Structure 1
């Protein structure tokens, strides 16, 4: 049988003819040839559910569930409220508006487990439910039990920790909605991501808010040169210390930071700077809370989730969605569209993708890279299907959307189009890289660092699939671990980070390696770069949310901008270095360039040399040895000059290199390159050269 085909152009410029049965990945990666039947079956499963969506009216209407379910207000003030509660015998809408009378506003069962109520306006043409008043749905089960729940599609949930239950669903219908003033920026060619958490963004020991972030933090991000903000912990979660990963209300932005309109303004102001904004979306699991979450929503354990053991995540103590159930599929896809349309987010970082892809959820499973791990009974075909459907819909609907997978498994095709048999993400996080750096800092002396192993970890990624590299994210900053700066300098950060004190060996080493680790990771590690809020300037200490174990302290649940803004302290040097790296990348675009060619990784000298984006990167990690007239190879030809120099005093360097130096290439083979130059490269220094 001759298969229909399509042509696809890959980053190398080649045009490949691809089959349309989902086995195109085997053209890109011949090692997948033995798994063509698995790829074909996976794609067929995707097409089956794509057809189910079409049968439900197509993606355009199917993904607008938020305009059908939940509370929707017509222009004449009529309120329509619908909820899917398939196990309910009766349902009623209760709230402050009817004094919580279960008999006052019964709902009508219309079809497929959906209950509905239509409330006409008042005589003045206003909704009968007041803006910002509390509401719930109450149902009775076949056993006669009465249950109270927060509406699943509610758009506002508030908290009062002094009462129980502490969380209230709120009918949110302000007189005037926020009007966006700025268009979405185009998707960046080079993705430079600033990962941030609104709540910890104040220097004060308290929860920060959306308006403060807009006013105080976005200008800092723009100054540094990041073009993307990734916002964590926005979807409402009952437990602050969960870092936002135990979501209770999927359509409600967390009220602990402010109002929905203030979040809209945050996104809008970021757009005014040309910065895209990604939402850290949690569709991998949900909070096991009953009174304020989706768990046991209709009295059964299998309404939104798998029933029984399959519906529980053992390590996270959370519930697992049944992605193969069409109402759940609509809920999650509509959730994505809601955040894109209502809040104008530009894309998503999908949390916990490994848990979604595999039936074992990655629990106690060490991926070896054997292709058999990515197919067969270990894989959750519905989880893969949902991610394919979500990515396909998002990229069809929003051409500039960005999707990122947090996945430790390295599943082949995660970042290839669905039509090829891929999962459809744009990027995945290169999660092995921060683990490598922390492990080195914990266990190995500088002089024993293996340059070859470092380079291998930084470059070990799938060809034609984009990765976002990073030295440390929020994971590495959490209590129990330390930031890279804290691993390097520890207690001396409390005593020797002032310009009024002498340079100690520990501070000197720590500042130098902090810069080198970041530059090498940025230049060599991926097609995008991520930094967690504050780590760019060497944020002291760790991150720990208020909890029972620390007497509910906010001391570590904040960002100490004060140490950066104090011009007598040395954090400013690291901040300026980070700014310089982002700006040079913006100018030369190495992240959007093909993977680097590494010409030297010398173990004795501790020197690494590579070329990327028409730039020559040279690193000397040696703790004591500097090298004069050090020969390095390059395919660049002509006069080179310095565009980045970690030894510059602007960045707490020793000023041993003249930034005005010029280097003229000499023709001749060296380290497999056509030309060579000679440079002075001091110990613990990195420089980047470009054609003049």
Structure 2
């Protein structure tokens, strides 16, 4: 075997950017790169390990023997070790054997920039030359329209391992199988986007992918990197956007991962008060270290660049913003101003969003942020964090709490269901009914609902109607769209057999109808983050547990009624400050959705008769436990 040859992909300018934390395409330089040098085929390797005194590439090409292929350290104090190894190519399996200056420690690490990883439980990296001919040019040219803040944005959240399984083979679907089954399903359901729970390589299945070790590699569980590219490509060819869950907040302590990388705290903060997450028993990135910031921002841009993804949902943002997150007194130290904000992490988040939108103005970043931190989805130029959207956790919590109550008690909690409109326009909110709400004893969406079987399904349909007509974008986790009865179990397939039964078919048809209405009704998505799109017509009918509101945009107007009790009303009066004709567009009580079908409305006109301070009024039929949507002309 030939020895390592001196070679570099780095210019002096690259190194200056790297040291300054401003090199955001590091995946083009660090890692393994199959290539030809002076007519010889091989692979260039580069790894950042500033505390190493020796770095070997070990792999299936040298019997995993340390010292056979020693990398050369750069002279510029960048801490980068590099070199070209002839005859090593695409598909070769390898790790870095790092001999540290720190107490003579030796670590054996997967490549932080590997574009493919071995199938778990194996932990090595694989030399990989990504090669894909994309067919999504039509989508890429027009996706700015589909990903815009004033476009319909309805997201189906999926855990790839458990969405559907080949039961006879006891395995999950592959990327290519998903490119057939999942794409077809999402298109039929009329969702505009899909969101994958983390697909970057992770060692431990019960982490659901939130403990990453291969930041630049889609998990090998379901196929090759190009096959995941194909899945994204097919979604795009069907006009469906793709969002990835992304985890820059913490990473696991697995021996082959980023922790203690070169025998020192290289990627994680050395102070355990900042560098260790007690909830997840994982390490926290050192956001104040330039090279670490460059690693993370490069990673975000990599998925937008190589994989054409349309957005990043950033996990656990709250845990990054606060030094005292999930810590008791004495377990954290205040910042330089005496506060609890993690200033370096906040700076990182702002820079991340600035770089994403500067390079890819036609995508979105979405924050999973559960506190009242202000201006999360406002531009950094006016002091915001720069995200495109923020999950509306308050709406989710209040709404699910309200719907879990027996309808007889809901009149005492009217404020819980209407309160979200007090702050709905302070951020660009996404309404999430995510995987977190259907695990650990929280029950499935259907099983959260009170009452007998009919009431459970009616309540769930009513909840979804309220969600889809409430201001903000939408997210629904797999199984919720057809009334999965069991809690989500990452080891098992969804219970697709339930769709043999009409109640579950009804839920599925209702979600499809809501998606369709949302897509075609400008009043529901234009100005969806502005108070101008919403008007209360009745929010204080506590006794009947009814809400009535208007969604509007220019000539497009709808009126929504939500009756949250099983009591129908034959002549329910509603007022309006303008006249017009009401035509019922959708009712969750329609027979095709497994409702009663007994309480539909004829076309009705607002008459110039004052009601509750409004100049015009009319009466309509309110169905039991139903959301009804009317077009106003």
Smaller-chain TM-score bracket? 0.7 to 0.9
Of 440, 443, 448, the residue aligned with 1:479 is 440
Q: Which runs of 4+ in 1 moved over 4 A?
A: 52-55, 57-61, 362-365
Determine the structure 2 residue equivalent to 1:516. Answer: 462
Secondary structure of the residue aligned to 1:283 is coil
- Give the drift of 1:639: 1.6
Q: Between 96-105 and 534-543, report the one with greater CA deviation.
A: 96-105
Structure 1 residue 362: Cα displacement: 4.5
Partner of residue 612, structure 1: 551
Give the number of equivalent residue pairs: 590
Question: How many Å separate the matches in 2 of 1:58 and 1:296?
Answer: 20
**Residue 347 of structure 1: CA displacement?**
1.3
Distance 2:20 2:177 in 1: 37
Q: 1:53 to 1:582 in 2, by over 3 A?
A: farther
Please state whether the residue corresponding to 2:592 is helix, strand or coil: helix
Residue 221 (structure 1) aligned with residue 191 (structure 2)? no
Aligned: 1:688 with 2:629 = yes
Matching of residues 115-194 of structure 1 within 5 Å: 115-119=80-84, 121=86, 128-142=87-101, 143-161=103-121, 166-173=122-129, 176-182=131-137, 183-184=139-140, 185-186=143-144, 187-188=147-148, 189-194=151-156
* Map of 1:368 onto structure 2: none
Q: Is the 8 A contact 2:56 2:97 kept in 1?
A: yes
CA–CA distance in 1 between the matches of 2:613 and 2:477?
A: 37
> Which residue does 1:439 correspond to in 2?
401
Whether the 8 Å CA contact 1:354–1:361 is kept in 2: the answer is: yes
Contact 2:44 2:82 in 1 (8 A): yes
Which residue number corresponds to residue 587 of structure 2? 645
Answer yes or no: is the 8 Å Cα contact 1:432–1:457 preserved in 2: no
2:35 pairs, out of 59, 74, 97, with 74
Measure, in 1, the Cα distance between the counterparts of 2:466 and 2:70.
Answer: 63
Matches for 1:625-640 after TM superposition, within 5 Å: 625-640=567-582
Mean Cα deviation higher: 184-193 or 341-350: 184-193
Report the equivalent of 1:22: none
**How big is the shift at 1:180?**
3.9
Q: 1:542-585: CA deviations, max 9, x gaps?
A: 1233xxxxxxxx3xx32222322x2x442111000001111111
- 1:81 Cα deviation (Å)? 1.1
Alignment-derived partner of residue 94 in structure 1: 58
The Cα shift of 1:75 comes to 5.6
**In structure 2, distance between residues paired with 1:616 and 1:67:** 53
Conserved in 2, the CA contact under 8 Å of 1:190 and 1:527?
Answer: no
1:598 equivalent in structure 2: 536
1:612, distance to aligned residue in structure 2 (A): 0.8
CA contact (8 A) 1:412 1:422 kept: yes
Larger mean CA deviation between 140-149 and 272-281 belongs to: 140-149
Partner of 2:476: helix, strand, or coil?
strand
Do the aligned partners of residues 171 and 315 (structure 1) sit closer, same or farther apart at CA in structure 2, a change above 3 Å counting?
A: same
Question: Aligned with 2:366: secondary structure?
Answer: strand
TM-fit CA distance, 1:217: 1.4
1:204-238 CA-partner distances (Å, limit 9, x unpaired): 35333222222111211111221111111211111
Between 1:346-355 and 1:93-102, the stretch displaced more is 93-102
- Separation (CA, whole Å) in 2 of partners of 1:308 and 1:682: 57
**Could you tell me which of 352, 361, 364 is aligned with 1:402?**
364
- Residue 259 of structure 1, CA deviation: 1.1
- Per the TM alignment, residue 655 of structure 1 is displaced from its structure 2 partner at its CA by 1.2
Please give the alpha-carbon distance, in whole angstroms, between the structure 1 residues aligned to 2:128 and 2:241.
Answer: 27
In structure 2, what is the Cα distance between the partners aligned to 1:658 and 1:455? 25
1:622 — aligned with what?
565
Structure 1 distance, partners of 2:628, 2:467, is 14
Q: How far apart are the structure 1 equivalents of 2:211 and 2:488?
A: 18
Aligned-residue RMSD, C-alpha? 2.6
TM-score normalized with structure 1 length: 0.81
Query: Structure 2 length as normaliser, TM-score?
Result: 0.88
| Matching residue of 2:486 | 541
Contact in 2 for aligned 1:645/1:686 (Cα 8 Å): yes
Residue 644 (structure 1) shift: 0.9
Task: Report the CA distance between 1:687 and its aligned residue.
Answer: 0.9
* CA gap 1:96/1:517 in 2 versus in 1, 3 angstroms: same
C-alpha contact (below 8 Å) 1:71/1:81 kept by paired residues? yes
Quote how far apart the aligned CAs of 1:79 are.
Answer: 2.4
Distance 1:276 1:463 in 2: 24
Matches within 5 A, 1:559-598: 559-564=494-499, 566=500, 568-589=501-522, 590-593=524-527, 594-595=530-531, 596-598=534-536
Q: Give CA deviations for 1:627-666 in whole Å, capped at 9, x if unaligned.
A: 122110124532220111111111011111346x111111
Alignment counterpart, residue 347 of structure 2, candidates 363, 367, 385:
385
C-alpha displacement at 1:120, in angstroms?
Answer: 5.7
1:200 aligns with 2:167: no
1:527 is displaced (CA, Å) by: 1.6
**Per-residue Cα deviation, 1:487-508 (whole angstroms, up to 9, x for no partner):** 237xxxxxxxxxxxxxxx7111
1:237 aligns to what?
202
Quick check: 2:15–2:78 contact (8 Å CA) kept in 1? no
Instruction: Provide the rounded CA distance (Å) in 1 between the counterparts of 2:447 and 2:260.
Output: 44
Alignment match, 2:298? 334
Give the match's secondary structure for 1:293. Answer: coil
Q: Closer, same or farther in 2 for the Cα pair 1:220/1:458, shift >3 Å? A: farther
Do the aligned partners of residues 341 and 600 (structure 1) sit closer, same or farther apart at CA in structure 2, a change above 3 Å counting? same
> Could you tell which deviates more after superposition, 575-584 or 188-197?
188-197
> What does residue 665 of structure 1 align with?
606
Pick from 345, 358, 364 the counterpart of residue 309 of structure 2: 345
> 5+ residue gaps in structure 1?
1-51, 122-127, 366-371, 490-504, 546-553
Structure 1 pair 356/60, CA: closer, same or farther in 2 (3 Å)?
closer
What is the CA–CA distance in structure 2 between the aligned matches of 1:314 and 1:274, rounded to whole Å? Answer: 41
